[in-house]
Amino acid sequence: MKYLLFFSFVVVFIFFSCSDSAKSSSFYGELFPVKIGDNWGFVDSSCNFHQELVYQMADEFYMGRAVVQKNNKFSFVDEAGKALHPFVFLKVTHFSEDSLGFVLDENNMISCINWDFKKVFSLPGAEEIHNYYNGLAAVRKNGKYGFVNKKGDLVINHEFDAVGKFVENTIAVAQYEELPDSSYLKWYFIDKAGNKAIDKKFTDVHDFSEGYAAVSIDGKWGWIDKKGKFIFGNDFQECKSFSEGFAAFKKGDAWGLINNKGKIIAQPNYFDVGEMHEHFATFSMGPKNVGFIDTLGNIVVQPQFESASNFKNGIAYVAKNSQIGLMRKDGTFFCDSKFDSAPNFWGDFIYLQLSEHIEVEIDTLQVNP
C-alpha cells in the first residue's frame, strides 16, 4: 500500500462517456494518447493521428472523454477533439461513482463536480482527496485521513495516517506505531461504518480484489479472505493482487503466477510478473527484457521489450530502444517504435496506474481565516 502514502507526484488522469447510460468503470477507448517531442496527441488503431499534437499532456479516453493539458491547466476533450470545459483546473481526478469527480481550482480549493462540471460541494482546508469507492471518498486534513459521503459530510473521522481504496465494502487503513528509535505504519481493515472488519494488524497490505487481499506480517506475505484467514499460507516474499483469478507471487528471489485455487500456474522463475489483464500478464527475464504469458503460464510473446503496459481492448504499449509503439495480442505491431512517451512513461518503464486523487501543495494552500 506504499503507493497511497503521501504521493509527491500528483497529476490527473482519465475520463468518461457522453451519456449516463453509457458510463462504466472501465478505462477503455479506441484512441491512444502518445507523445512526440514535447507535445501530445491521439492516434487510432490504424496509426492515424486523430488529433493534432497540441497538448502538454493527454491521457487515455474513458468512454468518450480524455483529460488534456494546455498552458498548465486541465480540461477534457471528446473524441472529436472538442474541449468540454475551459482550461481552468490546476488538477483533476477522473469521474467515478454517480459521475462525480474532484478538481483543484486556482484558489487551491478542492471541490466535487458532477458530469456537467457543476460544483456539488467544496472541501475547505482539504489537503488531499481520493475518488469515490462504494460511496465514500478518502480526504486528508491536517495530515490525517477521514472519509466523506457524496454530500461532502464527514462520516469517518480524520484519524488515519494512510489509506487504501474502499473496495468490496472494506478498506485498508494505517496508523503510525512508535518504537524507541523509529515509527512505522500498522495496517488493518475497516468497514463503511468505520468499525474494524478484520481483527489483525499487518506491516503492509494491498486492497481487497476478487475476495482476497495480499498482506504482510513481518516480511512474510500471503493472501487473506474477508475473515482474515490466510488462504494459501503466508510464506511468500511478496504477493500482488488477484486479477482475473490470478496473482503474482515472489518465492526467494523470483516471481511466479498462482490461481485463486492455490495452483501454481507459472513456477517462480521470473525477474517479475505483472497482473493478468485480458488473459495476458507481463513477465520479465531481467531489466528491459519483458514479454507476455497467458493464463496457462505459456509464453505467448517472447521477452524483447524494455517495458510493456497491460493489454486494453487487445492492444498494449511496448517500448524498444527508448521508443514506444503499439502491439496487438497476436504479437503484431503498429505504430512500431514511433513515439517518445505514452501515459506515465518514465524513462525505463511504462506505468499506467492512473491517478485517482488530488493532493494540494501544502506550502501554497490558502487557509481561510
Of the two residues 227 and 287, the one the predictor is more confident about is: 227
Kindly give, in sequence order, each residue whose CB lies less than 8 Å from that of residue 301, ignoring residues fewer than 6 positions away.
Answer: 280, 291, 292, 327, 331
134-138, 152-156, 272-276, 286-290: which range is least confident on average?
Answer: 286-290
| CB 246 within 8 Å of CB 260 | yes
pTM of the shown model: 0.83
pLDDT at 310 over 60: yes
| CB 57 within 8 Å of CB 72 | no
Q: How crowded is residue 45: how many other Cβ atoms within 10 Å of its Cβ?
A: 15
Look at residue 320 in the predicted model and tell me its pLDDT: 85
pLDDT range class, residue 73, cuts 50, 70, 90: very high
pLDDT range class, residue 361, cuts 50, 70, 90: low
**2-209+306-364 to CATH, choices 2.130.10, 2.60.40, 2.50.20, 1.20.120:** 2.130.10
Distance CA 226, CA 232 (A): 14
pLDDT range class, residue 356, cuts 50, 70, 90: confident
pLDDT at 124 over 50: yes
Arithmetic mean of pLDDT, 226-238: 95
Look at residue 231 in the predicted model and tell me its pLDDT: 96
Look at residue 80 in the predicted model and tell me its pLDDT: 82
Kindly give, in sequence order, each residue whose CB lies less than 8 Å from that of residue 96, ignoring residues fewer than 6 positions away.
Answer: 25, 131, 132, 133, 356
pLDDT at 244 over 50: yes
Residue among 157, 198, 159 at smallest CA distance from 175: 159
